[in-house]
Amino acid sequence: MTDLTKLTMAEARDGLKKKSFSALELTDAFLAAIDAANPALNAYVLETPEHARAQAKESDKRIAAGQARPLEGLPIGNKDLFCTNGIRTTACSKILDDFKPPYEATVGQNLWDAGAVMLGKLNNDEFAMGSSNETSAFGNVVSPWRRKGADGKLSDDKLVPGGSSGGSSAAVAADLCLAATATDTGGSIRQPAALTGTVGMKPTYGRCSRWGIVAFASSLDQAGPIAKTVRDSAIMLRSMASYDAKDTTSVDAPVPDYEAAIGKGVKGLRIGIPKEYRVDGMSAEIQKLWDEGIAWLKAAGATIHEISLPHTKYALPAYYIVAPAECSSNLARYDGMRYGLRVNGDNLTDTYEKTRAAGFGKEVRRRILIGTYVLSAGYYDAYYLKAQKVRTLIKRDFDQAWDKVDVVLTPTTPSPAFAFGEKSGDPLAMYLEDIFTVTVNMAGLPGMSVPAGFSSQGTPLGLQLIGKPFDEETLFRTAQVIEDAAGRFSVPAKWWMKG
């Protein structure tokens, strides 16, 4: 039997259907891989082997009875931002301590109802605030990728897996799950996918329910999958997406069969190339990758059109006003009174202060302070209100672009994966990691990162596709062309298995 953990989700689905192996055998293979790799990678903050095996046994019974559901017996990882009924959920923050929710996030429930098996909870930046997975209370997630030196040998530098969904991207890249849930507030699905050679899909705002997801910035947060391939991403999103009456931002619209879009090609599609994304200081290898992506789509029958998104230059500063403002409001609920950590003080106010000081990490505290400042009486109009007006202009830019093009193609990140500590001491340098991704969240659009090439040091680079609202199908069609041209990426050496 081949190494089951190397299978794609589609291949594993077919193998289970043919009874080439059982759901329990598949689950045990992943649990063994996690035991071997997680001490080095720190992708999982909680392993749930008993829970996973129970789900797998139930799946084997359903498969034997001819009652298989769409994701029957397929093992996945679940980002620790998704509430899991009776299973610890912390958003990777000390302030949630040993919180065990009495309910399941809607996205998670959809996946379990479809037959998926949960292997455990995945590491992420604390409250999803970060671009490198260096802010988690459980410690850094280490990318399974390593840089190559001039001699072709792997360096010992530990690279970031991107963030905030770094645990998800690292686990998928290292074959520690078939796919994983993730969330994207300003690029936290697409950026880690780009840095780890995986496929990251951020759906249209409202496509997936936010109910039961620990909130960061409610008008920006959206759930989506990180997967090994474009097809696997389509399979995952079909089950994750749904209308949910419990989420007032959920959109009541049919969920298409995204997998059916795979292979339809791009002949006749109009691809937009925004001139504003050719930013100063962009590396030559990122520019070359972008040019290659344009050539691939043109060769496949698409037409290429330069477009202008003039308010793009304001997107990052506007985002870093809107997101902290919403974070400040959402995180006010963590006061030590109802759940999670409590550090007793001399009085109520002292308890609040001590609890929040002990429970929140440095980056979370920074964003709460920024958000509280821009929402204060003297600065609301000057900062928050103005940022919301800019957000409207960003959305208008895209609305006008859709008259001319069907899809927008850009780089996903301005640089390849970097080493731990390389940018964490400079918040502005870290925030610039989101320069190509935040416009998608500000406008509520679907966006997708596809592995497309390698840096000069042998680490993955991604291309980003941006689509019209609720037109994820066209993104899957286009992404498949890029994937076919670039090939599927896999980590060249499992260095974490040494010893």
Determine whether 79 is an active site residue.
yes
**Phi, psi torsion values for 88, nearest 5 degrees:** -50, 130
A 10 A CB-CB count for 256 gives: 17
Catalytic residue among 131, 165, 188, 449: 188
Tell me which residue of 273, 225, 284 sits closest to 436, measured CA to CA: 273
Length of the chain: 499
Q: What is the b/e burial string over 219-238, where b = at least 16 CB atoms within 10 angstroms of the residue's CB?
A: bbbbbbbbbbbbbbbbbbbb
| Residue in the block written with tokens 């990691």 | 433
Q: How far apart are CA 331 and CA 300, in angstroms?
A: 47
Rounded-to-integer distance, Cα 121 and Cα 51, Å = 12
Who contacts 73 (Cβ-Cβ below 8 Å, separation ≥6)?
A: 16, 22, 23, 26, 27, 56, 59, 60, 63, 115, 117
Q: Cα 443 to chain center, whole Å?
A: 17
**DSSP-derived secondary structure for 29-69:** HHHHHHHHHHHHH--EEEE-HHHHHHHHHHHHHHHHTT---
State phi, psi for 49 to the nearest 5 degrees: -65, -40
* Amino acid making up residue 78: N
Look up residue 350 and give its two tokens. Answer: 């002292």
The residues with which 419 forms a beta bridge, in sequence order, are 159
Sheet of 447-454: strand order equals: 44-47, 117-122, 75-79, 179-184, 222-227, 199-202, 447-454, 460-467, 407-411, 270-274, 303-307
Annotated catalytic, 188? yes
Contacts of 203 (CB under 8 A, 6+ apart): 222, 223, 224, 237, 241, 446, 472
Of 164, 233, 242, 250, which one is the catalytic site residue? Answer: 164
For strand 117-122 and strand 303-307, is the pairing parallel, antiparallel, or unpaired? unpaired
- CA 480 distance to own-chain centroid: 19
Vertex 467: Cα angle to 462 and 469 (nearest 5): 140
Query: How far out from the chain centre does Cα 340 lie?
Result: 25
CA–CA separation, 484 and 475 (whole Å): 14
Q: How far is CA 443 from CA 52, 309, 319, in A?
A: 37, 12, 11
Catalytic residues, by residue number, are 79, 164, 188
